[in-house]
Amino acid sequence: IHTSTLLHDDVVDESSLRRGRSTANALWGNAPSVLVGDFLYSRSFQL
């Protein structure tokens, strides 16, 4: 759950770095980052 919220947070904050590394939205764009964040969030409820 935490990782999925970080993906969304980086999009909202327009962050390009997290923990000294490029964020997903900086590498692949906002739309894929949000979709992956949504996927991880929904998958977490299946665990």
pLDDT tens digits, 1-47? 999 999 999 999 999 999 999 999 999 999 999 999 999 999 999 98
| Full residue range of the structural domain in which residue 37 is found | 2-44
Q: What is the DSSP string of the chain?
A: -HHHHHHHHHHHHT-SEETTEE-HHHHH-HHHHHHHHHHHHHHHTT-
Pairwise CA distance, residues 7 & 32, whole Å:
10
Q: How many domains does the chain have?
A: 1
Residue 29, burial from CB neighbour count under 10 angstroms (0-12, 13-18, 19+)? exposed
**pTM for this predicted structure:** 0.89
